[in-house]
Copies of this chain bind each other. A is one copy, B any other.
Amino acid sequence: MSHNSFGHLFRVTTWGESHGPAIGCVVDGCPPRLALTEADIQPFLDRRRPGSSRFVTQRQEPDQVRILSGTFEGLTTGTPISLLIENQDQRSKDYGEIKDRFRPGHADLAYELKYGIRDYRGGGRSSARETAMRVAAGAVARRVLEGVTIRGALVQMGDDRIDRAAWDWAAVEENEFWCPDRAAAARWEQRLLEARKSGSSLGAVIEVVAEGVPPGLGAPIYGKLDADIAAALMGINAVKGVEIGEGFAAAALTGEANADEMRMGPDGRVIFGDNHAGGVLGGISTGQPIIARFAVKPTSSILTPRRSVDRFGQEVEVLTRGRHDPCVGIRAVPVGEAMLALVLADHLLRHRAQNPDAPGEARLPRN
């Protein structure tokens, strides 16, 4: 069971509420003798951090992570790694407005109906603050994935898509949107300033890519790599759609157009003519880059009043003041990378368990 745990062999359990004293996670199953200190984790947290630009929530959180267990003299020991971040900026504001009211698009009503109780302060457990621990755990997962490069980018904001021909990974680190197309980034800046000004919000699409993934990760039938990636990405706050490779566009292709033809490379590795599959066939990695995309809905916290109800069954109007991301999709980029890293690290261990000579290489003939 995994209500607050993710993964099977490389397994992460997170805890904590937006306005509690701290948030944290336990990373269990990490292989021993990997170099790991706070300095390996902090840079990834800094990429996701609130207060880091004009376009994300102004809540001030240094998000300094501490390792409380599972390492010794800078190396992992194979025992559970406990990570903790203290909450700093639990603004002592009056929550009267949302204490009893259910904000449309938020988890408020759902939690109330499920549990009959909820920590309403800042969204409690359903706050995007929890994703900090995913990013922290993802940084540990990257240590396991030696030779694998995992990167993400925003490829659509609102209805404005990037020009894929202009894709430059270097551009991703240069703008505040993780946008690989410099022209699009310039347009988005304008657009997002307008949205923020009007108290509105925008959705987004993120693409995450993993290169250097060994073939053989994933498993039939209910441990498919793409199915686990789908769950991992759909489970990020505000995500409403997930694609692998060609994704929904595959529906409009013919079988001939969709085929990824193969030939032999000089070193015995299979070379694919294309990657409609997104690196996964039959639920198992082929050695091609893993490519996935996910759609993030526009932030539900907006300044325009919306009709809703309260805990007492009364009809009310709700508008959300306070510190919010006008496009939560932006901060979802490092989170999406982290989730992909977690899935891959878990499947690397799962593959190893059943296949003692794994990870194999895509060389033919095998023997």
Q: Nearest chain B CB to A351's CB is how many angstroms away?
A: 7
Chain B, Cβ-Cβ closest to A349: B353
Question: Which listed segment binds B: A21-29, A41-49, A52-60, A169-177?
Answer: A21-29
How does the 8 Å CB contact mask read for A256-290 relative to B, with 1 for contact and 0 for none? 11111111100010100100111011111111000
Give the docked Cα–Cα distance between A243 and B66 (Å).
37
Query: Which residues does chain B contribute within 8 Å of A246, judged by CB atoms?
Result: 240, 297
A167: interface (CB < 8 Å): no
Which residue from B114, B261, B355 sits with its C-beta under 8 Å from A115?
Answer: B355
Size range of the chain A interface in the assembly: 35 or more
**Interface pair B251/A297, CB less than 8 Å apart:** yes
Residue of B111, B248, B287 touching A284 (CB-CB under 8 A): B111
Separation of A328 and B28 alpha carbons in the complex (Å): 28
How far does the alpha carbon of A130 sit from the alpha carbon of B123 in the complex, in Å? 33
A298 lies within 8 A of B106 (CB): no
Whether A255 pairs with B200 at a CB distance below 8 angstroms is yes
Given contact pairs A309-B264, A314-B264, A105 touches B14 in the complex (Cβ within 8 A): no
A70–B298 CB distance below 8 A: no
B3 touches A258 (CB 8 A): no
A295 to B226, CA, bound (A): 13
Of B20, B105, B366, which one neighbours A259 at CB under 8 angstroms?
B105
